[in-house]
Structure 1
Amino acid sequence: MKKAITLFVVLVFAFGCSDIQQKKQVSSVEQLQHKLEKLDSQLKQDFPDTLSRMRLTMMQVELKIKQNLVLDTIQLDFAANMDDYKQARKAIGPINKQYLALKKAMAEEQNTLGKLHKDIENGYGKRKSYDQYIANETKKIKQIEALNADLFKAVRQLLDTYKMIHPKLNALSNRLTSTL
């Protein structure tokens, strides 16, 4: 009789502990999902949707200047501005690719976290490995955060360069085309 009671107490304790552990794991996954949702909404909200238009405008300004400017000497300030402007325009393509890769990574991670959440709640798979899975997904979220920060740093640099140089070069291109 004592053995049966002892076995019952041990089983209740074991299942009670696993239930507590399961709740912690589910909570951890939900926190990761929330963090990822915040990153996704920030990306959608803050990423400029005008990059393609900006690229087209920059190409038009460059073309007007190339077709209409004839210099017998090179002005260093103008040459530096044109070089920076071209570099900024060329950076738009990689920024768009980085944006698409980040969106894809976020969607895949959201899917993975959803599956992990479901597995933990239902007790599917290797229960002993859940903590390791959560740790791996936490690392992935940190990588996504780093990629997000890099993307917005590149966008800020692009916009700063554009705001600083575009008005000067656009005014020059307009003057060149108006004198014809």
Structure 2
Amino acid sequence: MKQDLNKNIKAQIQVLAYYQILGGVMGIGLIVWLGFQSNIFLSLGLLILLFVIGLYSFSIYCGYNLLNYTNRESFRLSAINQALQILSFMLLGFSYKYIAGVEFAVGVNLTNEALFTFDFSFFTSEFQMNLNTEKETTKIAINIIPILIMYFIGKLEQKVETGEPIPTIEESNILDSF
């Protein structure tokens, strides 16, 4: 990678970084708020709570990395963060759903009959993990937004590798690029 990327590429990377940071901050805020509402801090759910805070902290870390160390590793971590948000399911009593940002999910509910589902939420943070509940429910959904973001990450990484490295956040301001 070379020395100075154009302002358009810097702005795109900064938007992606701030998107991940905001999703993580919103997720941690929601978890803390829900924790105080339900006294989850005093129950066995504390382990799950720490896991969820870890996921949202990872989102913040990915955004921070993009802002400060734009390199192959920061793009790889951001892609992993997005990959964790693609699939959600409820199957045989186990469910998993992790969203740190925007959700547009297309899915199918196979509980009684095949029903197609569409879920949309704009800048939400959501985590759901259940064990041994609703065993008769079968749902699978794919969040399209993280797939698009992963494609965008790949394109940005190509631009950076053929272009020049990006200055750190201290060296540039996102407002200067507009």
Q: Provide the TM-score with structure 2 as the length reference.
A: 0.40
Higher helix share: 1
Q: Provide the TM-score with structure 1 as the length reference.
A: 0.39
Higher strand share: 2
Task: Compare CA radii of gyration and give the structure with the larger one.
Answer: 1
Higher relative contact order (CA 8 A, sep 6+): 1
